[in-house]
Amino acid sequence: MSGRYLLRRFGLILYTLLVVSVIVFGITQVLPADAAVMLMGENATPEQLAALRARLGLDDAVWVQYLHWLGGVVRGDFGVSMTSGLDVLPTIVESLSRSLLLAVLSILLMLVVALPLGILAAVRRGGAVDIGLGLVSYLGVSFPEFVTATLGILLFADLLGWLPATGYVPLLEDPVQAVRHLVLPVATVSLILIAHVSRMVRSEVVDALHTDYVRAARLKGLPEGLVLRRHALRNALLPTITIVALDVGYVLGGIIVVEEIFAIPGIGRQLIVAVQNRDLPMIQAAALVLAATYCVMNLLADLTYAALDKRIQYG
């Protein structure tokens, strides 16, 4: 892996962010109604709207607005929320930290459940675990997050009363409550992941068990457990990393819905609220941060893959 490769990847990430910012900016320009209308609500008079638009810089030509925004971002200034008047960057960083907690916990839960499940199903192909997993995973990938979340709330919060329905408590403020509030959102996000990844793991392991060198190892008379650990798993789990990285994009999308339903003040909710309020600097920053997270996770996945598998050459 050369420095040139890394440089190229970073170049691509910058290009990606530029494309994303242009797309998002372009779309926000066609949004019906603007932040001034939302701020003034039903009390807007034409002269007040005009004054407010001038103050928010909504009167400038589109490209002037864009360059102004881009110039700010290059200097690390993401502007000020048109709604609250608060700085965008600290707001985004704080909500991102809440979202990342949710995302990381969901991915961890997925790994803990999906890997053993997938391997077991592959090794005992056609067994009870395999058939059960097949069924459950089809169901899992077929429930949109909002359905899982809503049914979860109905069952665990409403009928059984075991868990709080929605809401967010910071980890440091009250750890027990914080965890109780995180159970349903994390379960919701990871359900689709578990269903998807465990199926992938299963098929990779099944493929690996059919390769020549596994057959050869078996012929040599090595014990099955050793064959599995040394040859099959290693080769099967490598592609899993790529799958997980690709799923990160999906996790980020899912988090938008899950945060909205569970009222978690993370980046997804921030984004939906910003779209409702036509808060352009906030929409831009949130979309950019989501895209950047996706890019970085992909890069990390590729680097991990390369580090684990020396045979792959990057240039």
Partner 1 sequence: MVELLHRLVRSPQGAIGLSLVVLVLLLALFGPALAPHNPEALGVLRRYKPPSVDHWLGTDQLGRDILSRLLVGARATVLLALLATLLGTLAGAVLGTASAFLGGKADEAIMRTVDAVMALPSLLMSLLIVSAMGRGAENAVLAIAITFTPGMARITRSVALAVRRQDYVNAAVARGEGALYIVIREMLPNVVAPIVVEMSIRVAFAVMLFATLSFLGLGAQPPSSEWGLMVSEARRFMHLSPWMILWPSIAIALVAVGFNLLGDGLRDALNPRT
Partner 2 sequence: MSFDATRRQLLAATAGTAFVPATLVPATGQAQGTPRRGGTLRISVDQAVGKLNPLLVRVNPEYLVAELLYSGLTRLSTDMTPEPDLAESWAASSDLATWTFVLRAGLTFHDGSPCGVADVVASFEAMLDPATASAARNNIGPIAKVEAGEGRNVVFTLRAPNADLPVTLAYTNARIVPAALSKGPGLARLDREAIGTGPFKLVSYEPERLVVVERNPNYHAPGRPYLDRVEVVIYPDPTAEGSALMSGGTDAMMAVQPTEFARLQRGGGVRVLRTPSGQFCNLNFGCDTAPWNDVRVRQALALTIDRGAMTDFVTEGFGTKGNDTPLNAAYSYHRQQPQREADIAAARRLLTQAGHANGLKATLIASDRPAVRTQFAVALKEMAKPAGFDIEVQTMPHATYLAQVWRKGSFYIGFYNMQPTEDGIFSLLYTSDATWNETRWNNAEFDALILGARTTADTARRRELYGQAQALMHRDVPSIIPVFFDLLAAERTYVQGRVLHPRGAVFRLDHVWLGTGAPRRG
- 49-78 footprint of partner 2 as x/- string (CB under 8 A): x-xx--x-----------------------
For residue 83, report the phi and psi dihedrals to the nearest 5 degrees. Answer: -85, -60
Give the start-end residues of each E strand in 198-298.
none
For residue 145, state whether it binds partner 1 (rule: CB under 8 A).
yes
For residue 162, state whether it binds partner 1 (rule: CB under 8 A).
no
Token pair for residue 189? 């996000």
Considering only residues 34, 130, 204, 247, which one is a binding residue for partner 2 as defined by CB under 8 A? 34
Among the listed ranges 147-155, 167-175, 234-242, 303-311, the one in contact with partner 1 (CB under 8 A) is 147-155
Rounded to the nearest whole angstrom, what is the least distance from the CB of residue 150 to partner 2 in the complex?
10
Among left, alpha and beta (phi > 0; psi -120 to 50; other), residue 51 is alpha
CA angle 172, 176, 179 (to 5 degrees): 85
Tallying the residues shown for the chain, one arrives at 315
Residues near 310 by beta carbon (within 8 Å), at least 6 away in sequence: none
CB 249 within 8 A of CB 237: no
CB 181 within 8 A of CB 169: yes
For residue 139, state whether it binds partner 1 (rule: CB under 8 A).
yes
Token pair for residue 210? 């059919």
Among the listed ranges 64-72, 121-129, 142-150, 211-219, the one in contact with partner 1 (CB under 8 A) is 142-150
For residue 307, state whether it binds partner 1 (rule: CB under 8 A).
no
For residue 30, state whether it binds partner 2 (rule: CB under 8 A).
no
Task: Using the minimum distance from each CB to partner 1, give the nearer residue, 182 or 267.
Answer: 267
Residues 12 and 62: their CA atoms lie apart, in Å, by: 26
> Within 90-129, which residues bind partner 2 (CB under 8 A)?
95
For residue 154, report the phi and psi dihedrals to the nearest 5 degrees. Answer: -60, -45
Task: Using the minimum distance from each CB to partner 2, give the nearer residue, 91 or 198.
Answer: 91
- 231-270 footprint of partner 1 as x/- string (CB under 8 A): ------------------xx-xxx-xx--x----------
> Within 240-299, which residues bind partner 2 (CB under 8 A)?
261-263, 265, 269-270, 273, 276-278
In terms of Cβ atoms closer than 10 Å to its own Cβ (0-12, 13-18, 19+), residue 128 is exposed
Task: Using the minimum distance from each CB to partner 1, give the nearer residue, 9 or 180.
Answer: 9
State the residues that interact with partner 2 by CB under 8 A: 32-34, 36-45, 47-49, 51-52, 55, 83-86, 95, 153, 157-158, 164-168, 261-263, 265, 269-270, 273, 276-278
